Amino acid sequence: MSSKIYTVWGGKHSGKTTFAVSLACALSKRNKLVGLISSNLTYGELQTFFGQSVPEEKGIFEALREKSPNIGERFSEYTESKNLFFLSVPTAYSGMLSETVTLEETEQLIHAASLVFDILIIDGASQINNPVSDVGLWLSDTIFTLHRPSIAAQMWYSGVSDFMQELHITEKQKHIILAPNGEFDPQTYQGRMPLPFYCELPYIKSASELENAGTPLYFASDRPCRRYGRVTEQIAGKICGGGKA
């Protein structure tokens, strides 16, 4: 494979998609051709974040059926960046097709996409029976594992520990903690989770409002979003600088 593959992972409500989208935006601004793949096989989260629709002739189910080498045609171009393309389920409901997706098809798709893009980002799923997320974790060069401090996050990480050992992905993980939102003390969480946290992402109170309006946090102009963007920029810089992210 010619491209670097990064998977964003974590428990429910850990900010995975928010970070995956922001990182993809930051990397695309560095003149890298970036492909972003969603693992949500029932609902098109990415088109909500980007404020765009995905037609039925595009999207992940068509990409999985693709036999020609031009897999990039199934990705949708983000209109605000000529270097960023995303692959999601179509905007029209197609959830019944999710049961037909296999690990073999997904591996072929990711391999094919890695020949098209400089950098491939997989927006992973919290559950461990998702073929797109599982293959992404296995093939990734680096996994960014997000933690929103809570008892639920602690239980999720404990619950997937055997899965991590089975896939041998522990060493590939970079742990990112989200700043407190007043619900849980992050120091208490870090004391219970003796992990080497790579960095901290700011808490963005307006995240849901912005994303529902089709504005990635990376492009928002208020002060908290700019802080979030700076952290994302630092990570993108390390990725593009050739060092380990």
Could you report the per-residue pLDDT of 8-42, keeping only the tens digit for each?
Answer: 999 998 999 999 999 999 999 998 999 999 999 98
> Tens digit of pLDDT for each residue in 96-112?
777 889 999 999 999 99
Burial code of 126-141, b = ≥16 C-beta within 10 A, e = fewer?
Answer: bebebbbbbbbbbbbb
Count of domains in the chain?
1
Q: Is 139 among the domain residues? A: yes
Gyration radius of the chain's alpha carbons:
17
Instruction: Assign 185 a pLDDT band (cuts: 50, 70, 90).
Output: confident
**What is the predicted pLDDT for the residue at 192?**
87
Instruction: Assign 1 a pLDDT band (cuts: 50, 70, 90).
Output: very low
Say which CATH number the domain at 145 has: 3.40.50.300
Q: Is 156 among the domain residues? A: yes
68 compared with 120, residue with greater pLDDT: 120
What's the CA gap between 215 and 212, in Å, rounded? 7
Domain range for 89: 4-240
Q: Is 87 among the domain residues? A: yes
pLDDT at 236 over 90: yes
**What is the predicted pLDDT for the residue at 2?**
54
Nearest alpha-carbon partner for 45 in 63, 33, 59, 28: 59
Q: Is 30 among the domain residues? A: yes
Query: What SS3 class is residue 241?
Result: coil
Rounded to the nearest 5°, which phi and psi values hold at 42? -120, -25
Q: Is 245 among the domain residues? A: no
Q: Is 44 among the domain residues? A: yes
pLDDT at 182 over 70: no
10-14, 31-35, 186-190, 196-200: least confidently modelled range: 186-190
Q: Is 152 among the domain residues? A: yes
Q: Is 64 among the domain residues? A: yes
